[in-house]
Amino acid sequence: MTCFDCVVFTFAGPSLKVISTLSVGYDHLAIPEIKKRGIRVGYTPDILTDATAELTVALLLATSRRLPESVVEVKNGGWTTWKPLWMCGYGLSGSTVGIIGLGRIGLAVARRLKPFGVKKFLYAGRHPKPEADTELNAEFVPIAKLAEESDFVIITCSLTPDTQGMCNRDFFSKMKKTSVFINTSRGAVVNQDDLYEALVNGHIAAAGLDVTTPEPLPTNNPLLSLKNCVILPHIGSATYATRNTMSVLAANNLLAGLKGENMPSELKL
Ligand code: NDP
């Protein structure tokens, strides 16, 4: 529990009965203390899956095809005569895509990437998913094998004590030098110092992050100085429609919780 949590619980006192979070992730909540106090929690799964999967695909393409860097080149006069290898990146066609955490969002990402001509999907997590194996010709593999064989590594798992810092020096050293790393889960799944080192030393080709530690990322963070790192301000679910739907669900969760009724979407603690 952080000091901030202590302060919130101390000020709220025993009258705090319900928490409603505008998110599917709940790693920001002090769950053991919440359980101890018998507080109910509402959250917003499913309805943000499509928007977050779409953003993940957008970030992957922006990173692998170097879109932000290309836009800057056009603006600053770096676009001169045609050169065969200028602004080249990596394409999805014929590639192997590895997804860590083939849950709601991970599966929605894979479904969107398949029509790009992905040759093979690998995934890692706690459990194999026979339905995904059949639908996507996907293979459940250990994380090390996923790192070694994937051209694109996409992180869509939840942040837990097991996944915290999971993408570290050892992980990046197993990836191909031509691989692209994408994280739209939570920043703390990645050891950012190790990621910086992997990007600077060419152990991996590029990274795209929608989530960082901390958030907002200080503007002097070394990752922001790298051309091969694309960083977004945690906008996975940020479409007008999705945020509106999330807000209505979060409000209904809260009202139901306060009335002692079944919440439309209650976190099972
Ligand atoms: P799900 O619960 O459907 O999926 C979570 C996945 O994490 C599961 O596939 C699970 O694997 C996997 N996982 C859990 N523990 C491990 C582990 N130790 N190793 C590998 N994989 C593990 O959640 P969602 O798909 O709805 O959301 C996933 C996460 O995305 C959220 O927790 C949140 O942090 C993040 N998110 C980010 C957003 C953004 O704006 N960037 C927006 C929305 C969500 P298994 O199925 O095998 O148990």
* Average pLDDT, rounded, for the chain: 97
Q: 75-110 burial, b for 16+ CB within 10 Å, e for fewer? A: eeeeeeeeeeeeeebbebeebbbbbbbbbbbbbbbb
Residue identifier of the C-alpha nearest atom 16 of ligand 1:
125
The answer to whether 268 and 34 are in contact (CB under 8 A) is no
Identify the pLDDT of residue 1: 65
Is the overall model pTM greater than 0.75, yes or no?
yes
Identify the pLDDT of residue 12: 86
187-216 mean pLDDT:
98
252-258 mean pLDDT:
98
Determine the CATH number of domain 3-46+239-258.
3.40.50.720
84 alpha carbon – ligand 1 mean position (Å): 40
168-180 mean pLDDT:
98
Q: Which ligand 1 atom minimizes the distance to the CA of 48? A: 43
| CATH topology agreement for domains 3-46+239-258 and 49-231 | yes
Q: Is the pLDDT of residue 9 over 90?
A: no
Q: Is the pLDDT of residue 7 over 80?
A: no
Quote the crossing angle between the two packed helices 49-64 and 67-76, to the nearest 10°. Answer: 50
Q: Which ligand 1 atom minimizes the distance to the CA of 26? A: 32
8 or 166, higher pLDDT: 166
234 lines ligand 1 (CB under 6 A): yes
Identify the pLDDT of residue 135: 96
45 lines ligand 1 (CB under 6 A): yes
157-185 mean pLDDT:
98
Q: Which ligand 1 atom minimizes the distance to the CA of 211? A: 41
Expressed in percent and rounded to 5, the helix, strand and coil fractions of the chain are: 40, 15, 45
224 alpha carbon – ligand 1 mean position (Å): 26
48 lines ligand 1 (CB under 6 A): yes
Model pLDDT for residues 44-62, shown as the tens digit of each residue: 999 999 999 999 999 999 9
Longest C-alpha distance within the chain, in Å?
A: 69
Cα–Cα dist 169/198, whole Å = 7
220-245 mean pLDDT:
98
212 lines ligand 1 (CB under 6 A): no
Q: Which ligand 1 atom minimizes the distance to the CA of 124? A: 20
Identify the pLDDT of residue 3: 61
DSSP secondary structure letter of residue 218: P
242 lines ligand 1 (CB under 6 A): no
132 lines ligand 1 (CB under 6 A): no
Identify the pLDDT of residue 8: 83
233-262 mean pLDDT:
98
Q: Is the pLDDT of residue 82 over 90?
A: yes
Task: Give counts: helices (H), strands (E), the chain.
Answer: 10, 9
115-143 mean pLDDT:
97
Q: What percent of the chain has pLDDT over 90?
A: 95
Delimit the domains of the chain by residue range: 3-46+239-258, 49-231
14-29 mean pLDDT:
95
Q: What percent of the chain has pLDDT over 70?
A: 98
Q: Pocket of ligand 1, candidates 43, 50, 126: which has the most ligand atoms within 8 Å of its Cβ, to mutate?
A: 126
241-248 mean pLDDT:
98
Q: Is the pLDDT of residue 10 over 90?
A: no
Reply yes or no on whether 203 is catalytic.
no
Cα–Cα dist 200/195, whole Å = 9
- Architecture per CATH, domain 49-231, reads as 3-Layer(aba) Sandwich (3.40)
Model pLDDT for residues 147-163, shown as the tens digit of each residue: 999 999 999 999 999 99
Identify the pLDDT of residue 149: 98
Model pLDDT for residues 127-136, shown as the tens digit of each residue: 999 999 999 9
